[in-house]
Copies of this chain bind each other. A is one copy, B any other.
Amino acid sequence: MKEGPDIAQIGALIGDPARANMLTALMGGKALTATELAAAGGITVQTASTHLAKLEAGNLLAQRKQGRHRYFTLADDSVGKFLESIMGFAAGRGHLRHKPGPKEPALRKARICYDHLAGDYGVRMLDSLIARGAIDSIGDGLALTESGETALKDIGIDVHALKSSRRPLCRSCLDWSERRAHLAGSLGKALLSNFLEKGWARRAAESRSVVFSPEGERQFLALFPATK
Measured CB to CB, the residues of A under 8 A from B are 1-17, 19-21, 23-25, 40, 58-60, 75, 78, 82-83, 85-97, 101, 103-104, 107, 136-143, 168, 170-172, 176-177, 206-208
**How many copies of this kind of chain does the complex include?**
2
Residues of B contacting A11 with CB < 8 Å?
Answer: 10-16, 20, 86
Q: A12-B15, A138-B138, A207-B1 are in contact. Are A7 and B90 (CB under 8 A)?
A: yes
- Do residues B107 and A3 form an inter-chain contact, with CB atoms below 8 A? yes
Residues of B contacting A83 with CB < 8 Å?
Answer: 7
Q: A139-B170, A140-B139, A141-B140 are in contact. Are A96 and B6 (CB under 8 A)?
A: yes
- Do residues B87 and A5 form an inter-chain contact, with CB atoms below 8 A? yes
- Do residues A171 and B139 form an inter-chain contact, with CB atoms below 8 A? yes
